[in-house]
């Protein structure tokens, strides 16, 4: 949606995309950890510092990368904060966290 909004230069779509990204942060990132659902049976108990790639790239890494590219200082702050966590896991098993590692490398050059 974000890329489409940029391509079409639609202010309405840009606003909607920003809202979607903000909602994703609010629903799936809590206290330095990612949760797989916003409707957990016991809130806060099932958080991960990073989410591994599967058949698709890690949704957490994709959200971080998108947030860093949107030019919104508040989203960038959230993304950089989330990148602080999980370095040991990414370093120990880079194959399972390839998307997260790529975001870490790309963000270091900004």
The answer to whether the CB of 2 falls within 8 A of the CB of 16 is no
Question: Looking at the whole model, is its pTM more than 0.75?
Answer: yes
Local confidence pLDDT in tens for the 110 residues of the chain: 888 888 898 899 999 999 999 999 999 998 778 887 777 677 657 688 899 999 999 999 999 999 999 999 999 999 999 988 888 889 999 999 999 999 999 988 76
Domain residue ranges in the chain: 2-30+49-108
How many Cβ atoms from other residues are within 10 Å of residue 22's Cβ?
A: 15
Q: DSSP label at 1?
A: -
**Confidence at residue 103, expressed as pLDDT on a 0 to 100 scale:** 94
């Amino acid at each position: 949606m974000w890329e489409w909004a940029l391509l079409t230069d639609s202010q309405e779509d840009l606003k909607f995309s920003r809202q979607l990204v903000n909602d994703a942060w609010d629903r799936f990132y809590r206290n330095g950890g990612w949760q797989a659902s916003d409707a957990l049976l016991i809130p806060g108990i099932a958080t991960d510092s990073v989410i591994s790639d599967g058949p698709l790239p890690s949704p957490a890494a994709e959200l971080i990368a998108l947030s860093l590219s949107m030019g919104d200082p508040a989203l960038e702050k959230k993304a950089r904060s989330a990148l602080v966590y999980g370095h040991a896991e990414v370093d120990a098993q880079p194959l399972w966290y390839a998307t997260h590692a790529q975001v870490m490398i790309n963000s270091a050059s900004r």
